[in-house]
């Protein structure tokens, strides 16, 4: 049985390598100005494909399936990354539709009247944050959502995807992600989550969906991001995780999701974001490797002795941050307790200095996404496959991660040399790597929810 899987994987691998090589051979054989044209992000075509996808939800958003908040998220997030926006009518339809997916007892289902589910709750919350503005943000019933999250908590410390559903790392991430971004995270929600995720880190170093299963990029992103959000990332074996993730970038430039499997454009985000997050964990990694965290003469010389870096403060649990002005004039709650401090880990994290170079070849990943995944409107897994909104969302998210992987500070644009293809045409908006929402939309939501 197992040998059949390996044989099939090898045949498939050779086929993908051949198809990708043909694309690259052609690309390298043409003059530079024609190369530049081929590398262009087809913004208008992507925007058209995405808005058609969103409109397909119908005038009253009535298509029947259990994935509609996901379709909203994939399309709206992709549109935000392109720096585009949708018209007011479509925006209102989307807010109304998502409101109808919200369960009266909290959480969001796959469609109106469907049982609430953590995955669609994450998709709906991220969609509403991406839409932004008071109408979208205030439509989320945070009190009821908190109750729903508590109901999904399992005795193992993990979360269930839905009432009676499976407990896995996805559920832990989606629950913690929405609780954190909505500023409703507390000790009761967090309790035992770290133990559960830790039990899913495998001998390879990546993280599996559940204990005893195989390490996979999707779950590794979920596990790592959740551990950072609950401030327990130092419990993971990070050197082993690095060993695992650095070998997931294939000869084609794209990432594979797991050992001996094929590259796929969507892992540009799942694995690319894992590498991006680890770049900001330099001090924890050094500590685990038994290396000194005395960062050397250059940093000691230009900062005062008593001053801790943002990452050191985080490690020491002394982190505080500048409170942004609250638009409603109320005090933020950040300084109230340690728990509230955890609620802002997502903000503190992106403002950390990065002292580690990217753990993957960021230009080569962009090459894979642009030449092998990009289609005439939308993105695909690999050559030979069709486009879809899921791959469009995660190819664009991964492209953004790769473009910004050399920038030292959140909010600063990448250098032209770090963006593959024509700079002004290809440069995307930045994502918040822990939530995968566009960074400015994240800031807006943070300000809005810190005042409630």
Ligand X SMILES: CC(C)=CCC/C(C)=C/CC/C(C)=C/COP(=O)(O)OP(=O)(O)O
For the beta carbon of residue 6, count every other beta carbon within 10 angstroms: 10
Nearer to ligand X, 216 or 341 (CB): 216
Give the residue numbers annotated as catalytic, written as ranges.
216, 258, 261, 264, 266-267, 381, 388, 391
Q: Which residues contact Zn ion (rule: CB under 5 A)?
A: 264, 266, 381
Closest CB to Zn ion among residues 262, 445: 262
For ligand X, the closer CB: 258 or 341: 258
Q: Closest distance between ligand X and the C-beta of residue 307, in Å? A: 37
Phi and psi angles of residue 70, each rounded to the nearest 5 degrees, phi first? -65, -45
Smallest distance, ligand X to C-beta of residue 258, A: 5
Contacts 24+ apart (CB under 8 A), 1-9: 6/260, 9/260, 9/261, 9/262
Angle at alpha carbon of residue 278, lines to 274 and 282, rounded to 5°: 180
Shortest reach from residue 390's CB to ligand X, in Å: 9
**Rounded least distance, CB 380 to Zn ion, Å:** 9
- How far is it, in rounded angstroms, from Cα 310 to Cα 355? 12
Considering CB distances under 5 to 8 angstroms, the limit depending on partner class, which of Zn ion, ligand X, none binds residue 378? none
Distance in angstroms (rounded) separating the CA atoms of residues 173 and 210: 13
Return the residue nearest ligand X (CB atom): 218
Q: Distance between CA atoms of 73 and 57, rounded to whole angstroms?
A: 12
Cα–Cα distance, 325 to 348 (Å, whole number) = 17
Partner whose binding site includes residue 119, from ligand X, Zn ion, none (CB under 5 to 8 Å by kind)? ligand X
Give the one entry of ligand X, Zn ion, none that residue 381 binds, where binding means its C-beta sits below a cut-off of 5 to 8 angstroms depending on kind: Zn ion
Q: Binds 222, which of ligand X, Zn ion, none (CB < 5 to 8 A, cut-off by type)?
A: ligand X
Residue 310's Cβ-count burial label (10 Å; 0-12, 13-18, 19+) is middle
Taking residue 87's Cβ as centre, other Cβ atoms within 10 Å add up to: 9
Cβ-based nearer residue to ligand X, 41 or 200: 200
Which residues lie closer than 8 Å to 241 by C-beta, 6 or more apart? 201, 205, 206, 207, 220, 224, 274, 278
Nearest approach, Cβ of residue 46 and ligand X (Å): 21
Chain residues in the site for ligand X (CB under 6 A): 119, 122, 170, 173-174, 216, 218-219, 222, 257-258, 261, 264, 270
Cβ distance to ligand X smaller for residue 127 or 174: 174
């Amino acid at each position: 049985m197992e040998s059949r899987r390996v044989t099939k994987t090898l045949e498939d691998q050779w086929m993908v390598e051949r198809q990708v090589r043909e694309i690259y051979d052609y690309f390298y054989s043409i003059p530079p100005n024609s190369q530049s044209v081929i590398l262009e992000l087809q913004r208008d075509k992507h925007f058209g494909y995405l808005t058609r996808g969103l409109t397909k939800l119908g005038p009253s958003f009535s298509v029947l399936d259990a994935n509609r908040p996901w379709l909203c998220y994939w399309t709206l997030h992709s549109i935000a990354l392109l720096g585009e926006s949708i018209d007011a009518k479509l925006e209102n339809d989307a807010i109304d539709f998502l409101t109808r997916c919200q369960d009266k007892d909290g959480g969001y289902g796959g469609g109106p009247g469907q049982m609430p589910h953590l995955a669609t709750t994450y998709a709906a919350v991220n969609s509403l944050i991406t839409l932004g503005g008071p109408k979208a943000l205030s439509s989320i019933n945070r009190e009821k959502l908190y109750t729903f999250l508590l109901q999904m908590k399992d005795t193992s410390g993990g979360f269930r995807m839905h009432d009676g559903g499976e407990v896995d790392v996805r559920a832990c991430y989606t629950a913690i992600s929405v609780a954190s971004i909505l500023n409703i995270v507390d000790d009761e929600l967090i309790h035992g989550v770290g133990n559960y995720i830790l039990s899913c880190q495998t001998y390879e170093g990546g993280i599996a969906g559940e204990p005893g299963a195989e390490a996979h990029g999707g779950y590794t992103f979920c596990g790592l991001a959740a551990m950072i959000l609950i401030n327990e990332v130092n419990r993971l074996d990070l050197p082993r995780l690095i060993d695992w993730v650095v070998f997931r970038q294939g000869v084609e430039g794209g990432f594979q999701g797991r050992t001996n499997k094929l590259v796929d454009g969507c892992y540009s985000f799942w694995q690319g974001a894992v590498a991006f997050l680890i770049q900001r964990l330099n001090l924890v990694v050094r500590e685990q490797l038994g290396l000194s965290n005395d960062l050397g003469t250059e940093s000691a010389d230009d900062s005062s002795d008593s001053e801790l870096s943002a990452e050191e403060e985080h490690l020491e649990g002394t982190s505080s941050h500048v409170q942004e002005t609250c638009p409603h004039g109320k005090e933020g709650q950040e300084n109230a307790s340690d728990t509230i401090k955890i609620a802002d880990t997502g903000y503190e994290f992106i403002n950390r200095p990065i002292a580690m170079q990217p753990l993957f070849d960021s230009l080569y990943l962009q090459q894979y996404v642009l030449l092998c995944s990009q289609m005439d409107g939308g993105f695909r897994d690999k050559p030979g496959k069709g486009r879809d909104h899921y791959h469009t969302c995660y190819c664009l998210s991964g492209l953004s991660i790769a473009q910004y992987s050399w920038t030292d500070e959140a909010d600063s644009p990448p250098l032209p040399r770090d963006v593959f293809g024509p700079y002004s045409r290809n440069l995307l908006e930045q994502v918040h790597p822990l939530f995968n929402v566009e960074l400015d939309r994240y800031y807006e939501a943070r300000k809005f929810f810190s005042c409630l």
